[in-house]
Amino acid sequence: MTQSIPPQSQDHQPGVERLLKPRAEHIRPDYRGSDKLKGRRALITGGDSGIGRAVALHFAREGADVAILYLEEEEDARETIRLAEAEGVRALAIEGDVANSMVCNDAVAHVVEVFGGLDIVVNNAGVQYVSTDLTDISDETWQRHMDVNINGYFYITRAALPHLNRGSAIINTSSINAFAGNKALVAYTTTKAAEMGFTRALALQLAEKGIRVNAVAPGPIWTPLQPASWGPVDPQAVADMGKSTPMGRIGQPSEMGPAYVYLAAEDSSYVTGQTVHVNGGMIING
């Protein structure tokens, strides 16, 4: 958990898992599944790498069939599928951009066709572009944040909702930045705060239907998005990531997965509209 991270950069988002130095851990070898999600069917956006891969593997170890929607990193997606299938479940990879509503509609329809239904939706795909000056953010960059981080969550959830039943779960990946802010991530922070509003309002709307809606707010986690977003601006910032947290280190995706299992499973049957913070001890006010 305390491996040193050297300065590094990747030149394209969402980034490539296999280029991380050191490699990230997505599930601990000693994580014991107990059929918490046996027979369930999940769709995870951004599931090819990082937190999305961790969620897919934890769900698979708990017995769920998992489908991932990924943007373009086919090799990363194939590896996630290989690892999920090794857990003895069905796994499905779908390529497409969540910013396109038709892609989201088709992805959900394909999952339902292959798996025979859908029980868990994890909205996780996101982009993050660094800018220390608001006036440097182009219309295109601002809109890309909105299209992926907000619209994508809406499109996937809207498409999935007719297939969800009482006991289903929707889990949204937000961020510490929705609560603490980040002066170099104004556009990203704005979308992450919007995701929290989406989570809370939708939870109220769906409570009477028995569908729970919650969020996970990660702190700094070692995923390809870090060198792909911070690296081009300052490779040293990637190496220093997480050092300012009380725990003094960046987190691993493997430390995120169990939070999603909790929110997807019956263990959290009395939890909706809430946020699980996994951030190395950073104190949240509000």
Q: Catalytic residue numbers?
A: 188
CA–CA distance, 145 with 195 (Å, rounded to integer): 12
What SS3 class is residue 72?
coil
Closest CA to 126 of 164, 155, 152, 90: 152
Query: For 251, which DSSP code?
Result: B
Beta-bridge partner residues of 230? none
Query: For 45, which DSSP code?
Result: E
∠ CA 46-174-188, rounded to 5°: 85
**Quick check: 136 and 129 in contact, CB under 8 A?**
no
Phi first, then psi, for residue 234 (nearest 5°) are: -160, 95
Backbone CA torsion sign across 267, 214, 159, 48 = negative
CB atoms within 10 A of CB 96: 18
Strand order in the sheet with 41-45: 91-95, 65-70, 41-45, 120-123, 169-173, 212-218, 275-278
Backbone CA torsion sign across 244, 57, 269, 32 = negative
